[in-house]
Structure 1
């Protein structure tokens, strides 16, 4: 299969077109039902989605929100994290993780990551704990759960809250438990590119704590239990009814889609596992990866060269992330040094993946990678 490199025939990092085509009748009916029902904010679809996701994940409470970022902010507020408190997290993640900490006037403290899983290194985290530390936010990056056994041990030993950033890991497992359900609070994003994605912004906070769920429910609606009787300074962070309806259509497919992603990852490993100068993602025995991204490491300073070659071949790729968070302008005054995260930022390259990847497309991608790295 020789893929033309014209724009119309490019292979995108993620292609949602087939999913939309297959589900379009159900999605259109869901939209029509919302329009006919006339409830657009906090309607029955939102309530049903909360129940369905709580049931799928095996938690007591799910609170639908406007975004994964708001889920992190509200989680921190509900956990009582505030000014001057330190929260340890990874420097190798999307900015929103640290941004949420800063947004509640707490202090993000970065601990370096493991080079194979890209996730928070428990040994580095242990070194970062101080008397001011109040919480940990591990990120299950690219769909691979962090080492929650060790992180929970450290948190319990030091009396710390654990807020899981599971934005990229909906449906992933750690020792048989769903990512986002192991710590005190789990936070999810339904950004369109996610494994379970809406067609706009959306998020979810999950917990087994009734108190945290109550706080989160108030905070998403301007800090009120009863309309116009505000008890807290909150946010406007309600999930749109139409997005909830779309997510309810998609939720029953998530297990199959995640398994299809894992199959695509197995094909990539077979094709690329022995390519010199390339390191494929590592899967740990403790966790079930859901491959939100299939991110390889390109060694010997050749990442940008490979990215350019694949672009010329009509293959879309992405760099997550070109700068670790501690090197971004807003945090660079901290002068933190995270050698593993800094090295990874120059090596990582995410290849096209999704539940509808075809083996012949992957074979073409692999062939172009081999040609470029000769």
Structure 2
């Protein structure tokens, strides 16, 4: 299948051929910030040294006491809550969507003043979440739209529903530079500007070369999304009908393809033996001894595998993975 099989940076190698790779373009950071603000429907945008830094700056600016967040997500979100000196409130997931369970959210209403709404696997999580709460329990919302960049709900872009939107632009994301950790924070309220700029001073920022490449990648997002849709579609069609396999209805532009099976460990060993690079799964944040409180997250941990998805992945690579999984369940 060739020495470059499962190369997640293939799209970047292709794009780099049309990019002069400047050392540090003057004004490139400000140009990209304006472009991303316009793309996401926001007034203001600042480039940060990763999604984790953006989260820390966002929460520190809001000064929350208690932050609710999904139990299944990247640990950097919990790190940001602790950085803001807030108490976390973990919310179980709906195993069908792998996003926050609305029942868990409503049960916890009133126990937190800020909601960190993360759109996992490109699936919308609680679109326009503020409308779900009575006024006495109305939280501030920070929206992590890293995995749903570019999509909208009723004409309004995801990432613009909360007081602050954050984006990870690190490697493996559709909008990313392969050599740098980057992120972005977006907002509309000018009253937040001073606090956010003050938070930015505590972190280094990507350079103009990175910003210039992100601008190039932003212009090429339609092609990136087209590739992601193709691979997700191939997986969904190729793996349908396998009785021991559950395929959650993730977005057609998801950057990893989760599957659930009670034979997870056996299948994992088989795929790794065949040199298929599985993506990491998320360890639920609730910790030990509380699995009964989080049935959705606990099942995810027992059964989930994430198949690789990235732009410029070939149909033959995808078919290789599909056939390996089919062979496992039929032989």
2:55 paired with 1:62? no
2:30 paired with 1:47? yes
1:154 is matched with 132
Show structure 1 runs of 5+ residues with no match: 38-42, 222-234
Show structure 2 runs of 5+ residues with no match: none
Cα distance in structure 1, aligned partners of 2:168 and 2:144: 9
2:13 paired with 1:21? yes
Q: Is the 8 A contact 2:146 2:168 kept in 1?
A: yes
SS in 1 for 2:113: strand
Change (3 A) 1:203 1:156: farther
The C-alpha deviation readout for 1:116-169, integer Å capped at 9, x for no partner, is 111111220111123x521001111122221224x2223563221010112323
SS in 2 for 1:133: coil
* RMSD after superposition: 2.1
2:235 paired with 1:272? no
SS in 1 for 2:114: strand
Change (3 A) 1:349 1:172: farther
2:58 paired with 1:75? yes
Range 137-146 or range 106-115, more displaced:
137-146
Change (3 A) 1:326 1:361: same
Cα distance in structure 2, aligned partners of 1:192 and 1:344: 24
SS in 2 for 1:196: coil
1:231 is matched with none
Cα distance in structure 2, aligned partners of 1:336 and 1:213: 42
Q: Is the 8 A contact 2:37 2:44 kept in 1?
A: yes
1:126 is matched with 106
Aligned to 2:316, which of 360, 366, 371? 360
The C-alpha deviation readout for 1:279-329, integer Å capped at 9, x for no partner, is 22305xxxx65212111112x2x11211111122221112312x21112xx
2:79 is matched with 99
2:243 paired with 1:243? no
SS in 2 for 1:30: coil
Q: Is the 8 A contact 1:169 1:292 kept in 2?
A: no
Return the offset for 1:358: 2.1
Cα distance in structure 2, aligned partners of 1:259 and 1:174: 19
Q: Is the 8 A contact 2:163 2:188 kept in 1?
A: yes
Return the offset for 1:334: 7.9
2:308 paired with 1:345? no
Cα distance in structure 2, aligned partners of 1:20 and 1:258: 14
Cα distance in structure 2, aligned partners of 1:161 and 1:262: 33
SS in 1 for 2:93: coil
Q: Is the 8 A contact 2:130 2:138 kept in 1?
A: no
Change (3 A) 1:169 1:319: same
Return the offset for 1:351: 1.0
SS in 1 for 2:224: helix
1:294 is matched with 257
2:280 is matched with 319
Change (3 A) 1:155 1:26: farther
Aligned to 1:309, which of 266, 270, 276? 270
Cα distance in structure 1, aligned partners of 2:174 and 2:320: 24
Cα distance in structure 1, aligned partners of 2:160 and 2:140: 13
Matched residue pairs, number?
A: 328
The C-alpha deviation readout for 1:331-366, integer Å capped at 9, x for no partner, is x58888311101101111111211212222222211
Q: Is the 8 A contact 1:88 1:111 kept in 2?
A: yes
Q: Is the 8 A contact 1:171 1:258 kept in 2?
A: no
Return the offset for 1:175: 3.5
Change (3 A) 1:126 1:289: farther
1:230 is matched with none
Return the offset for 1:101: 0.6
Range 182-191 or range 210-219, more displaced:
210-219
